[in-house]
Amino acid sequence: MTEPLFDTLCVVGPGLIGSSVLRRLRAMPELVGTLIVTDRDRDVLARARALDLGDVVTDDLDAAVKDADCVMLCVPVGAIAPIASRILPIMKSGAILTDVGSTRRSIVDALTPHLRTDIAYVPAHPMAGTEHSGPDAGFATLFEDRWCLITPDRNAPEDAVTRIGAFWHAMGARTRRMDADHHDTICAMVSHLPHLIAFTICGTADTLAEDMRSEVLDFAASGFRDFTRIAASDPTMWRDIFLNNRDALLGVLDRFSQDAAAMADAIRSGDEETIVETIERGRRIRRSLLENRQA
Ligand SMILES: NC(=O)C1=CN([C@@H]2O[C@H](COP(=O)(O)OP(=O)(O)OC[C@H]3O[C@@H](n4cnc5c(N)ncnc54)[C@H](O)[C@@H]3O)[C@@H](O)[C@H]2O)C=CC1
Ligand SMILES: O=C(O)C(=O)Cc1ccc(O)cc1
C-alpha cells in the first residue's frame, strides 16, 4: 500500500469547494489518513455530519487544526488571512497551510507577517466551481480536467509544493505554478470580469420598466440565460473577490469599457468591418478553447 499524502487533513469551510474535496477524498481513502472538518456555522457542520464528510466534525477551530499535517482553508477570500493568522501560531511544525481562494496578492500581503519558517504556505486555486454554494452543492468530479493554479510562497520547500500538486492531481485537476500577481491578472480576465458583467447585465434588465422586465424573463433566450446562471453566485464570495482583486479587476474592466465603447462607435457609424472583425475574434477564441479542451 502506498503512503498517504497526509496523515491528517483539516478542511476549514466544507462549502461547495471544501465538500467537493472531501467527497473525492471519501472515495480515495488511501490518500489521506484522518479527515477533520470545521466551520463556524452549526448548520453547515450538521450537514457535513449527515453527509459523512469527515472523521471528526467540530466547531472548535483550534482543536481541528492543531494536529493536522495539512490545513486547507476553503472559506471566502476575506476570511482567509484572519483565519490563517489565528491558526498559524498553533499549527504543527512541518505542516502545510493551503487555501483555495480566488484571489492571491492581498491574502499573501496580509499573511506574510504571520508566516513561520517551519510551515509551508502553498495556496492552490482550482479553476472550477458552480453558482451554488454550501456542503450540499459539492460533488466529487468537480475538479476533473480543470486547472488548479498553485502560487507557493517563495520560502515554501519544494517537497510541500510537490505534495500539494500531487493532491490536486488526485482531485483530477491539471496544475500550473505561477506567481501571485500573474494569477490575479489572469483570474481578473477569465473569471472576475465575466462575473462582474453578469451581475451588471442582470441589474440592467432589472431596472427596465416593469412591463418590459417581465418580458425579458419570459423571452430570455440562451444569451441572457447564460448570464443569469453566473449572476446567481454567492454575494459574500464575490464581494470579497472584487474587493481583494481591485487593481487587476479595475484594469481589465477599463480595457473592456474601451472595447465596448469602440463597438458602440462602430455600430453608431455603421462600420461593418469593425463589427464583423470583433465577432469573428470571439468565434476564434471559442473555437480554440474547445480545441484545447479536446487536447
Ligand atoms: N464557488 C466557486 O465556484 C469557487 C470558489 N473558490 C473559492 O473557494 C472558497 C470557498 O468558496 P465556496 O466553497 O464556493 O464557498 P461556500 O460559501 O460554499 O463555503 C464557504 C464555507 O466557509 C464557511 N466560513 C465562512 N467564514 C468562515 C469563518 N470565518 N470561519 C469558518 N468558516 C467560515 C461558511 O460557513 C461556508 O460553509 C472561496 O475563497 C472562493 O473564492 C475557488 C474556486 C471556485
Ligand atoms: O461557475 C462558474 O462559471 C465559475 O466561473 C466558477 C468559478 C468561480 C470562482 C473561481 O475562482 C473559479 C471558478
pLDDT in tens, 253-273: 999 999 999 999 999 999 999
Ligand 2 pocket check: which of 191, 195, 227, 236 to mutate, most ligand atoms within 8 Å of Cβ? 191
Ligand 2 pocket check: which of 127, 192, 228 to mutate, most ligand atoms within 8 Å of Cβ? 127
Asked if 35 and 9 count as a contact pair (C-beta separation under 8 A), the reply is: yes
Q: Which range has the top average pLDDT, 2-6, 18-22, 219-223, 280-284?
A: 18-22
Cβ contacts of residue 35 below 8 Å, gap of 6+? 8, 9, 11, 22, 25, 26, 53, 54, 55, 56
| Domains observed in the chain | 6-178 (3.40.50.720), 183-294 (1.10.3660.10)
pLDDT at 215: 75
d(CA 116, CA 114): 7
Residue 180 Cα distances to 55, 75, 151, 184, 185, angstroms: 33, 19, 6, 6, 9
* Three-state secondary structure readout of the chain: CCCCCEEEEEEECCCHHHHHHHHHHHCCCCCEEEEEEECCCHHHHHHHHHCCCCCEEECCHHHHHCCCCEEEECCCHHHHHHHHHHHHHHCCCCCEEEECCCCCHHHHHHHHHHCCCCCEECCEEECCCCCCCCHHHCCCCCCCCCEEEECCCCCCCHHHHHHHHHHHHHCCCEEEECCHHHHHHHHHHHHHHHHHHHHHHHHHHHCCCHHHHHHHHHCCCHHHHHHHHHHCCCHHHHHHHHHHCHHHHHHHHHHHHHHHHHHHHHHHHCCHHHHHHHHHHHHHHHHHHHHHHHC
Digit-coded pLDDT (tens) for 165-221: 999 999 999 999 999 999 999 999 999 999 999 999 988 888 876 777 777 777 776
pLDDT at 220: 73
Q: What is the gyration radius of the CA atoms in the chain, in angstroms?
A: 21
Buried b (16+ CB within 10 A) or exposed e, 88-107: beebbeebbbbbbbbbbbbb
191 lines ligand 2 (CB under 6 A): yes
230 lines ligand 2 (CB under 6 A): yes
17 lines ligand 1 (CB under 6 A): yes
Digit-coded pLDDT (tens) for 85-98: 999 999 999 999 99
In ligand 2, the atom with minimum distance to the C-alpha of 187 is 11
Q: Which of 43, 39, 75 is nearest to 57 (CA)?
A: 39
* Cell numbers at 158, concatenated: 519544494
pTM recorded for the entire structure: 0.95
* Out of 121-130, 214-223, 242-251, 267-276, least confident range: 214-223
21 lines ligand 1 (CB under 6 A): no
Digit-coded pLDDT (tens) for 131-174: 999 999 999 999 999 999 999 999 999 999 999 999 999 999 99
First to last CA, the chain: 33
